[in-house]
Amino acid sequence: MRQSLVVANWKMNGSLSENQSLLNNVKQGFSTVQHAEVAVCVPFVYIQQVSDLLKGSVIAWGGQNMSQQTSGAFTGETSANMLVDFGCKYVIVGHSERRNLYAESDLLVAEKFAQAQSAGLIPILCVGESLIQREAGETENVVQRQLSAVINLQGVASLAQSVIAYEPVWAIGTGKSATSQQAQDVHAFIRGQVSDARVAEHLQILYGGSVKGSNAAELFAMPDIDGGLIGGASLKVNEFLSICQAAR
């Protein structure tokens, strides 16, 4: 039985006062969350604040990106060890916004995945196809290519200390979620690509893309969907709590 996981991706949102009110309210309502492990991935500058607010709670925190480099002359970058210094457990790598807006390649994402693991972070590897790719019947090829880049660099066993997030690009921030069956089909495909049966069985595969309180239960009921990566709805206390409550 895999542990359900719900991860908030705040993206470039928040302020000191908004974060404080959001997390205090989430903590207050958290006794209603029974089954999910929960984490929030926040902008770098707020990690200290979020760690102060969440220390002693069961909610973990993490970054939304990091450098593939260890340290040195890389102006503007943030290393995996820096995230560890601030108590991060997770880091998102390969979000489609990074792949598309900042031209992050499959290899670069795989290097970030490797660097995260060597610092002791759990990378949340995002994979997913665009609408054009889906309509061209390319979904499985795209997801396989994104996953293979990591397996080729790090080996299949490395997936045991990671989380995969399937996020169809056409469903992110659009209000148009994949159907539970569409998501399940790709999740089952991803699990099937993991050649080590034990790793495959334990691998948490999250769905991301317009998850809300109203569709979370149906998505999370699917056998290969182990929770969600939540963008917009993670900024609304009641929506986020009801998504967390929907986890199996």
Residues that are catalytic:
95, 167
Residue 65 lies near ligand PEP (rule: CB under 6 A): no
Three-state DSSP at 72 gives coil
Radius of gyration for the chain, computed over Cα atoms and rounded to the nearest angstrom: 17
Stretch that binds ligand PEP, among 77-85, 110-118, 147-155, 202-210 (CB under 6 A): 202-210
Tokens 């108590």 correspond to 87
Nearer to ligand PEP, 11 or 187 (CB): 11
Residue 230 lies near ligand PEP (rule: CB under 6 A): yes
Site string for ligand PEP, 173-192 (x = CB under 6 A): x-------------------
Nearer to ligand PEP, 125 or 199 (CB): 125
Longest dimension (CA), the chain: 48
Contacts of 69-77 spanning 24+ positions with Cβ under 8 A: 69/115, 70/115
Residue 125 lies near ligand PEP (rule: CB under 6 A): no
Cβ–Cβ < 8 Å for 174, 145: no
Stretch that binds ligand PEP, among 19-27, 45-53, 117-125, 166-174 (CB under 6 A): 166-174
Kindly state the smallest distance separating residue 181's Cβ from ligand PEP, in Å: 18
Kindly state the smallest distance separating residue 95's Cβ from ligand PEP, in Å: 6
DSSP state string for 210-241: S--TTTHHHHHTSTT--EEEESGGGGSHHHHH
Q: Which two tokens stand for residue 247?
A: 């986890």
Please list the residues that pair with 207 across neighbouring strands. 166, 228
Q: Which amino acid is at 204?
A: Q
For ligand PEP, how many residues bind (rule: CB under 6 A)?
A: 14
Closest CA to 92 of 127, 45, 44, 126: 126
Return the residue of 4, 9, 139, 154 that touches ligand PEP, per CB under 6 A: 9
Return the residue of 172, 216, 246, 247 that touches ligand PEP, per CB under 6 A: 172
Residue 168 lies near ligand PEP (rule: CB under 6 A): no
Return the residue of 229, 241, 243, 244 that touches ligand PEP, per CB under 6 A: 229
Distance of CA 18 to the CA centre of its chain: 22
Q: Which residues form the interface with ligand PEP (CB under 6 A)?
A: 9, 11, 167, 172-173, 208-211, 229-233
